[in-house]
Amino acid sequence: MRVINGPIPPVIIIVVVSLLIIRGGFSRPVVYEIPGGFRGWVTISYRSPGCPRLRSEGIQVVVTIPPSGHACTSSDSQFPKWHRVDHVYIYEENQRMPLQFTIKGRGGMIWSDFFWEASENGSGKPVEGFFVGTEDELPVHLDHMPTLSQPIPSTATATP
Do 94 and 65 touch, CB atoms closer than 8 A?
Answer: no
Query: What Å distances lie between residue 9 and 2, 4, 13, 82, 89, CA to CA?
Result: 14, 9, 7, 22, 39
Domain boundaries along the sequence of the chain: 26-144
b/e burial code for range 6-27 (CB count within 10 A of at least 16 → b): eeeeeeeeeeeeeeeeeeeeeb
Greater confidence (97 vs 112) lies with 97
The pLDDT tens digits for 5-23 are 556 677 776 776 666 555 5
- Residue 123 pLDDT class (50, 70, 90 cuts): low
The pLDDT tens digits for 60-82 are 999 999 999 999 999 987 766 66
| Helix (H/G/I), strand (E/B), else coil: 19 | helix
